[in-house]
Structure 1
Amino acid sequence: PLHLKMMALGGNQRFRDFLRQHGVPEDLPIRQKYSTRAAQWYRENLRAMAEGSPPPPPLSPGEGCLPAEDALGAADSVLDEVFAHASDECGSSGSVVHRHHRLAGRGQPLTECPMVEEEQGSGSCYE
């Protein structure tokens, strides 16, 4: 229910407009775009609106395009390393790893984790 309310209050265009207002370049890679202070503030504000709690303090001018303090958490770093290693070992962009890889975001666990052992043999890509 909370996530549905956040989706109703948010929206892609509104998010893009907000990032633009805070100086986040439109051509910035998506991972960096979502790791800016503006994106972090937007998520926190959206949650506050959905919960009916006070909004976070406003961003200072020029602050939105800076990296968020928790831009790359430990879980994200581990996922990046695991999937980079898996893609090096497991083959092409059409492999199971590439087709199923997605980031959960904000340190939340993946809700589904495909097991490639059945499709690719030993599962050595995940050792």
Structure 2
Amino acid sequence: MIALPAGVRILLASKPVDFRKGAHSLAALAAAELGTDPFSGVVLVFRSKRSDRVKILTWDDSGLVLIWKQLEASTFRWPPIVDGTLRLTAVEFAALFSGIDWRRVQATREIPKPSVPA
């Protein structure tokens, strides 16, 4: 599992990409298609046509980092496209990256603080 900084923006490309593309080609694609600066620290997630592979691109202040992952026995479960956008929380993204169905992940409930009767 990769560790993401708190509050980092995660952008998922809504269309599959050619997985022969390397880091610089994906950065150029992100700038052109997603309208984002790939050198701003944003995490960019790209998927293959078969949805069994994912490439993650980010900038870590010293260079581009490209992470490539392929699931052996299943496919990644992608969220639906709503208004042209895919949205996931950090917890849902961690589940997606681990190959877990992100729809089964639930946010932790806040535990109420006990109060002392007055």
Same fold (TM over 0.5): no
Higher helix share: 1
Larger Cα-atom Rg:
1
TM-score normalised to the size of structure 2? 0.30
Higher strand share: 2
